[in-house]
Each structure stands twice: as structure tokens, then as C-alpha cells.
Amino acid sequence: MTDALLERFGKFYPAGTVLFHEGDAGSDMFVIHSGRVELTRRMKDRETILASLPPGEFFGEMAVVNNRPRSASATVKEDAWLLVIDARTFEAMIRGKAEIAVRMIKAMAGRLERANQQIELLLLKDVNHRVVHCLRQLADTGTPVEGGGIFIPMTLSQLAGRVAVDETQVLEVVQRLRQARLVLPAPESGVPGDGFVVPEVGRLLDFLEFLEMKERFSGV
């Protein structure tokens, strides 16, 4: 991202800034130059985390493309510099550079896949199954840990928001997983920062398959 683009379209937003709320009218999209932005949506009277977006990601484009209300809320979680792009500029960029259009199509396809995964997750009735399924998904994009395992940078509160379950219930599930050594708090594994470490993804997958079988045949 060039300095010229940042100078022309860039704007600084401190952490805690609500960029827009679900249902708001929108005329701009955003590209993250630095910082992090969290997207949330109200589901069953709970605020559910849809995504935590790092630098290089964009969001809010659907309000520009089809002039529809915002489908989610966006909050700056870390001080951020964002490119704020209106509909006319966006259209000119798409027409002028095909690679931008291709990148957006690929990104939107990825988001659709993640949205389908989120829907699948929220349809699970059992809290244990929902939390384990979410951790398994997050492990796919986690960071390998020296000596083995996958680090998932997510707080307990963020995990509860992702699965749309009360934080106390999520803590109970995480504690049981910790006792079974399926998931460990990051500091316990010698990894700095908030998050979890999955020591062996294969074991977590085996446990997930067990939960799926249990849920499938619970009514038989």
C-alpha cells in the first residue's frame, strides 16, 4: 500500500471507535493499513464475533456495491490507519486495475466459506461440540508453536462471542479440554500473549468426531 494512497484516503481511528453499526446506511468501504478491526453481528440477543481483521484486509464493500444497509457492526480494536473509499473511487479502482477485482472476488469467496462455517457452528446445539468445533476451525489458521502445537490468538471473551455462548459456559468447556490436555492456555505452554494452544490437532479432531457421533445418535 503506497504512501500516496494513505495520504489521499487514509484516516486514523483510535481503539474503541465504532465505525458503523449493523443496519446503518453506508457509502464507504475500508481497507486496513495498520491496526485491527472486529466485525460483530447480533444473533439471538447476543453480540457474535464474525471476524477480527488484520492489516491488508478490507470490509464494508457490500454497502458500496449494492447500496444495502450494513450487515454487521465494525469496531476498531487496535489503533488503526484505514483507507476510506467512497463508491465512485471504488468503481474507478475496479475499472482501472483488474487485479483489484480479482483479489476482491477471492476474498469475498473466502468470506462466504467462513460465513457458511459460522452458520454450521451456530446450528450445533451442544455447547461442548460448538466450542470444540470452533477451536478446530481456528487451528487451521493458527500459528505453529516451536516444539509442536498450534497457537490460537483469542481470549476467552472473544471465543464466547464467536460461538454465541455465555462466557461462563465456555470457560467450563475449556477447563475440561485443559484437563484432557486437548487445549491449553497459551502461558501454560510457554507462549506469550492471550490465547490457546492445541498441542495435537489430531487428538482434538478425534474428540470432535466423538462429539459429532454423540450428537447424531443422542436421540436414537
The residue that leads in pLDDT, 130 or 126, is 130
Give the per-residue pLDDT at 79: 95
Question: Which residue, of 122, 143, 173, is where some domain finishes?
Answer: 122
Confidence of residue 119 (pLDDT cuts 50, 70, 90): low
Residue 23 belongs to a domain with what CATH number?
2.60.120.10
Contact (Cβ atoms closer than 8 angstroms) between residue 126 and residue 215: yes
- pLDDT tops 60 at residue 1: no
Residue 115 sits in the same domain as residue 132: no
Q: What is the pLDDT of residues 128-160, one digit of tens each?
A: 888 888 888 888 888 898 878 899 988 888 888
Total of domains in the chain:
2
Closest CA to 174 of 134, 120, 214, 218: 134
Residue 213 belongs to a domain with what CATH number?
1.10.10.10
Question: Which residue, of 94, 122, 150, is where some domain finishes?
Answer: 122
Helix (H) or strand (E) holding 20: strand 18-20
Residue 89 burial (C-beta neighbours within 10 Å; 0-12, 13-18, 19+): middle
Q: Which of 24-28, 108-112, 126-130, 160-164 has the lowest mean pLDDT?
A: 108-112
Mean pLDDT for the stretch of residues 33-50:
83
Give the per-residue pLDDT at 33: 92
Confidence of residue 220 (pLDDT cuts 50, 70, 90): very low
Range of the domain at 208: 127-217
Q: Where on the phi/psi map is residue 216: left (φ > 0), alpha (ψ -120 to 50), or beta?
A: alpha
- pLDDT tops 60 at residue 2: no
Residue 160 sits in the same domain as residue 135: yes
Residue 13 sits in the same domain as residue 47: yes
Residue 92 sits in the same domain as residue 18: yes
Contact (Cβ atoms closer than 8 angstroms) between residue 162 and residue 155: no
Give the per-residue pLDDT at 44: 66
Q: Which of 9-18, 71-80, 207-216 has the lowest mean pLDDT?
A: 207-216
The residue that leads in pLDDT, 79 or 213, is 79
Residue 45 sits in the same domain as residue 154: no
Residue 113 sits in the same domain as residue 29: yes
Confidence of residue 115 (pLDDT cuts 50, 70, 90): low
- pLDDT tops 60 at residue 80: yes
Give the per-residue pLDDT at 64: 79
Mean pLDDT for the stretch of residues 50-75:
84
pLDDT averaged over every residue in the chain? 82
Mean pLDDT for the stretch of residues 168-192:
88
